[in-house]
Structure 1
């Protein structure tokens, strides 16, 4: 590097390249040259948005139709995700001991569950009304000794067991249990018709006589002739 000296004869002064570069770097590193530089957070954000821009440009270049095609694909994917979420509901919580139990609180009578169901129904709280009416059905069957009281029993288990004693209502019991599971674990929302169906089932079961399961003859003994 050659510079002109300040002497009278303006004799050129040769400075080696490396020392000159180091001197320039020291000069430029002074704070006075960086007062208006963006801070660390701003630089990080700038790099992030640059990366997003390059990623978007690459995706748009690889997609038929460019940017419009990419936007259309994103909209279709979002629509599919929304449809699956609506169809499957909120992910069900992880199973644990007693997680699917029909009764979460202490023992209550069928009449108490019916009162609670009616109170929720009058307030338009159909999810809670469905839950309490299903609990009333199962508790009533236990009070009638058609079901043995068993802690941790699920709505599906209760419906299956009750259906053997009340075969004419087996399908309705399974439907009621499914409605209970949908609002309790599946993130679904019940409506008034769903509640009224379970209410009608409860009333019908109260009027229905159970079908006793035939006893099995002990081995080695024949049925007595008529």
Structure 2
């Protein structure tokens, strides 16, 4: 019912004398009907109008000749700032740590953390089982670099593959990484007995790398074995 029809209906109806509260209730009830509600602006209409008003407020006096260019200039400035930030800071690394999932580790499906692997290596060494101690210590080294999202391992990654890629992130430790990868291969595949000295060497490398800041992180990340 349109407002005009409402007025006509009220005129044609028997005369009544509602009080103020009753009259207000009648009007609210009538305006709450679907035809009136459909005519109200939606939230999208309101947002669009607010944006349009904001862009309109950016105009300068027409006499300057730049009235219609200000919004375009603002957009261009924002785009330029984004490009400059990208060139200066590089691409954003969002949720780098979320990419790490414990799993394949030198031929075994191992979900233990680096801390758990270190503890296992320590227990094995205390029992005189240096074969296991060296293996677990080297796995701890690899797992801590994966947890730091520096070097990842995947099914098929060998100790030598890992050492080569880790050397790019930690060039000062390249020779030790290669040597400790050799110790891992000896006790795991070649039946060479492990020693206390070998275990201490791998453990010392793990401690050293853990305290270092990696270099060439992006280069190593790009070569993750898939």
TM-score by length of 1: 0.49
Higher helix share: 2
Larger radius of gyration: 1
TM-score by length of 2: 0.49
